[in-house]
Amino acid sequence: MQFNEKELNSIKELIDKSNRILIIPHKAPDGDAIGAALGLFQVFSQLGKSPMVRCFDEPPGVFSFMPNIEKVQIGLTSTDYDAIFIVDSGATHLTGFNESHPQLFDKSLEVINIDHHPSNEFYGKYNLVVTEASSATQILYEMCMNLDLPIDRNTATCFLTGIYTDTGSFMHSNTTPEVMKIAARLLAKGANLRSISKDLFNTTKISTMRLWGRVLKNTYQTTDSVTMSVVTEKDFEDTGAEYSEMTGAVDYVNSVPESKYSVILTERDGKVKGSLRTLREEVDVAAVASAYGGGGHTKAAGFTIPGYLEKEIRWKVVDN
């Protein structure tokens, strides 16, 4: 992985002289955001520093196997820290703290932006943004190796969780030989693969089963080979599922053969969220999403627009 040497050295100097370190993952955190935050927490704890993780939302229960998950605090009260790491967040609003704490993003504080999204806004005073990286935790792994920071078994579990999540268990196109090598090294360092695969990928709550039932029932294919599904506010009410339980549904819908790409439209709190995936080499779903003000990666993207879903019934006249 090619780092900007100057940026990396500045980050090293900052880490060396910092004691109180704040770590912020994005809101509605996924395995990469939580893995990056708790991995860094463990690294800094091992160095004898005083790290703290603060997130806008509570981490979903599936992450309860992760070391130090109980240390994640909800909300932000102060920005008075020696250094502030913001991880896996391409845009300032994704932290949830952009309006309450705009000073995080005006480069007046020692903010380090660690991310792999091509749409990253470079809001940090320091920016370690590597768009070829599979995950934020892959960047952190490389950063730790470069700066000689300790990676123990807990950190290894956190970093592997991020890689596992963002590569869709090593099935997405971002699963490079490099990613496999890093995963192997993390396993050798004692990463708890059993918990990662069992708790994250082979555990399904009854509410998730029922929600996915709605997703599958509503799946259809458009005339131009786009596989679509919709989930309404009522589907969440009926099934008792949380929004986070949609994670992975679009990848499943994307498994229909000969599909150009797939989209799930989710209605929630007066907004419609679109999640897009493709397995096709020549299709760029980030470009599709950007037409709706969204963005992301070429093979996985999304957008959010204000509004509701309305069922459209089409009738046609046929000869008898």
Smallest separation, CB 29 to Mn ion (Å): 10
| Shortest Å, Cβ 80 to Mn ion | 28
Q: Which is nearer to Mn ion, 86 or 230 (CB)?
A: 86
The DSSP code for 191 is -
Of residues 32 and 142, the one with the C-beta less far from Mn ion = 32
User: Which residue is associated with the tokens 């929004």?
Assistant: 243
Q: Which residues contact 80 (CB under 8 A, 6 or more apart)?
A: 20
Q: Which is nearer to Mn ion, 135 or 157 (CB)?
A: 135
Number of residues that bind Mn ion (CB under 5 A): 5
Taking each continuous run of H as one helix and of E as one strand, the counts in the chain are: 10, 12
List 26, 28, 32, 279, residue binding Mn ion (CB under 5 A): 32
Judged by CB under 5 A, which of 81, 88, 130, 229 binds Mn ion?
Answer: 88
Provide, rounded to whole angstroms, the least separation between the CB of residue 162 and Mn ion.
7
CB of 296 to Mn ion, least distance (A): 10
- Write the DSSP string, 13-79: HHHHH--EEEEEEPSS--HHHHHHHHHHHHHHHHTT-EEEEEESSPPPGGGGGSTTGGG-EES----
Strand order of the β-sheet with 50-55 is 73-74, 50-55, 20-25, 83-87, 111-115, 126-129
Residue number of the CB atom closest to Mn ion: 32
Q: Which stretch binds Mn ion (CB under 5 A): 38-46, 73-81, 86-94, 290-298?
A: 86-94
For Mn ion, the binding residues in 146-185 under the rule CB under 5 A are 166
Q: Starting at the earlier edge strand, list the strands of the sheet with 300-306.
A: 220-221, 226-231, 261-268, 271-277, 300-306, 295-296
Q: What are phi and psi of 153, to 5 degrees?
A: -65, -35
Least distance from C-beta 135 to Mn ion, angstroms?
5
Q: Which 3 state secondary structure label does DSSP give 216?
A: helix
Nearer to Mn ion among residue 135 and residue 232 (C-beta): 135
In this chain, which stretch among 30-38, 91-99, 144-152, 297-305 interacts with Mn ion, using CB under 5 A? 30-38
Q: State which residue, 35 or 51, has the beta carbon closest to Mn ion.
A: 35
Q: Is 115 near Mn ion (CB under 5 A)? A: no
- Give the single-character DSSP code of 201: I
User: Residue 36 or residue 241: which is nearer to Mn ion going by CB?
Assistant: 36
CB 72 within 8 A of CB 37: yes
Residue span binding Mn ion (CB under 5 A) among the ranges 39-47, 53-61, 85-93, 210-218: 85-93
**Nearer residue to Mn ion within complex by CB, 94 or 231:** 94
Residue span binding Mn ion (CB under 5 A) among the ranges 81-89, 96-104, 152-160, 194-202: 81-89
Runs of H (alpha helix) within 100-169: 136-147, 153-166
Pairwise CA distance, residues 182 & 162, whole Å: 12
State which residue, 116 or 214, has the beta carbon closest to Mn ion.
116
- Listed ranges 60-68, 130-138, 246-254, 280-288: which one lies at the site for Mn ion (CB under 5 A): 130-138
Nearer to Mn ion, 136 or 263 (CB): 136
Supply the minimum distance, in Å, between the C-beta of residue 5 and Mn ion: 24
Q: Is 267 in contact with 232 (CB distance < 8 Å)?
A: yes
The least distance separating Mn ion from the CB of residue 93, rounded to whole angstroms, comes to 16
Beta-strand runs (E) in 203-311? 220-221, 226-231, 261-268, 271-277, 295-296, 300-306
Residue ranges that bind Mn ion, judged by CB under 5 A: 32, 88, 135-136, 166
